Amino acid sequence: MFNRVAFITGASRGIGRATALTLCRAGFDIVVASPEIEKNEEVATEIRACSGEAITVNLDVTSQESVKEAFARTLKDKGRIDVLVNNAGVTRDGIAMRMKPADWDLVLRLNLDGAFYCTQQVLPGMMKNRWGRVINISSVVGQAGSAGQANYAASKAGLIGLTKALAQEMASRGITVNAVAPGYIATDMTKVLPEDVQKKILASVPLGRMGKAEDIAAAVKFLASEDASYITGHVLAVNGGMYM
């Protein structure tokens, strides 16, 4: 029995790192993909320490050339990609009327366009194998909106639309496409928020705590498994009740 191969973007830290380690423990071979080459190797070392297999690729999802090179190298080394986790993301917050075009463009290019480019690379192989999992990491912000995050909200809402469209296109080929929508998760992205903002957000979470990257990784593991074979086009909210 072969191990399935999971390609994870933004895998060098946070939710991506937790997902890589969780899927490794579930028996997947892991492709650790991000532009942070040294951190990629650190994650790969952690995976190998728990008897998993990992390769690393330098991936800038805003560059179609980088995307093509990273996936071509993966297919050469591993021969297949069974699971794609589109996790790479960035924020450039600011109120809409003053948002710089460059900040709008970067967030949409990285969070949404990048996911689309990566997905295009895996679909031919998944269609040939008649099995595949595409899992997009959206956000509660893409469902409920957030003042000062028009670009981020638009990109994450766009991922939900992309998820549903691709799910309809790919279902007949045995490929499921789903999204996970994290709430307030303890990551590098959230720890830079001012303390008063963090307290305000936490007050809106019925479970009364921040989520962990491992909470999101567990949801991804489920959607990547055979247990989720009859689920597609779904948005799995992992947000402590923050948005229902």
Q: Is 243 a catalytic residue?
A: no
What was the pLDDT predicted at 189? 73
- 100 pLDDT band (50/70/90 cuts)? very high
The tokens describing 96, both together, are 């809409």
- Domain boundaries along the sequence of the chain: 5-237
Ranking 18-32, 144-158, 186-200, 226-240 by mean pLDDT, the lowest is 186-200
- 192 pLDDT band (50/70/90 cuts)? confident
Mean pLDDT of 42-53: 95
Given the structure tokens 């028996």, which residue do they identify? 27
- According to CATH, the topology of domain 5-237 is Rossmann fold (3.40.50)
What was the pLDDT predicted at 191? 77
What is the percent of the chain where pLDDT is above 90? 92
Does residue 50 carry a pLDDT above 90?
no
Q: What is the pLDDT of residues 108-144, one digit of tens each?
A: 999 999 999 999 999 999 999 999 999 999 999 999 9
Q: Which of 152, 184, 230, 243 is catalytic?
A: 152
pTM value > 0.85:
yes
